[in-house]
Amino acid sequence: MNIGVTVDAAAWQAATDDLLAIIGDHMLAASVEGAGRIQDATRGLLTAQSHAAHTKTPSVAPEPPAMISGALAASVIVTPVPDELGADVGPTTDYGRIQEIGGWMQGHPLMHWIEDGIEHWSAGHSLPERPSLGPATGAVVDSGDLEQIYEDHVLEAIQEVTV
């Protein structure tokens, strides 16, 4: 008795293409969800302390900067990157990067603050590192949340394919 198996290569390729598309969709969704967790954690760090404009910050470097207007926290956005099945997360304000990594900041004619009752003016100054995105990312990764998000999406993709 002969037993034979015929494989339809076109059908197999179509099924494989469907599987890859579904997994890709879920990986992109996982990346966006994970970036959203990092966004939330970053915004939390950036709003944990506050102070009035033109006053000295209560945060001590390397703590994240204390909030004045909330613009820095609000500027932390998630941008899907479909071609890479990923997502970018970070601040979009022009001073977000300098706050994160520190460095020289060129001032403007109105840059001033009051410290100990004395008004100070600055045409520029060096800012220390005041990271928020890095520590927030580390906290989300260390918590296991990011790994769980990807695991959940992989399981959902498998379930979707096998139904």
Predicted TM-score (pTM) of the model is 0.83
Within a domain: 13: no
* C-alpha distances in Å from residue 114, one per residue of 17, 36, 121, 128: 63, 36, 9, 19
Other CB atoms within 10 Å distance of the CB of residue 37: 20
Which residues make Cβ contacts (< 8 Å) with residue 48, sequence separation at least 6? 64, 66
b/e map 135-156, b = 16+ CB within 10 Å? bbbebbeeeeebeebeeebeeb
Within a domain: 89: yes
What does the DSSP 8-state code read for residue 129?
P
How high is the pLDDT of residue 108? 67
The total number of structural domains that make up the chain:
1
Kindly state the tokens that stand for 139: 């906290």
Q: pLDDT confidence of 140, banded at 50, 70, 90?
A: very high
Within a domain: 73: yes
Can you give the residue range of the structural domain that contains 108? 25-162
113 compared with 77, residue with greater pLDDT: 77
3 state DSSP class of 56: coil
Within a domain: 100: yes
Within a domain: 114: yes
Within a domain: 137: yes
Reported as a single tens digit per residue, the pLDDT across 2-60 is 898 888 899 888 888 888 889 999 999 999 999 999 999 999 999 999 999 878 789 99
- Give kind and range of the element (H or E) at residue 119: strand 118-121
What does the DSSP 8-state code read for residue 113?
E
Reported as a single tens digit per residue, the pLDDT across 68-111 is 999 999 999 999 999 999 999 999 998 899 999 999 887 666 67
Within a domain: 3: no
When computed from its CA atoms, the radius of gyration of the chain, rounded to whole angstroms, is 24
Within a domain: 5: no
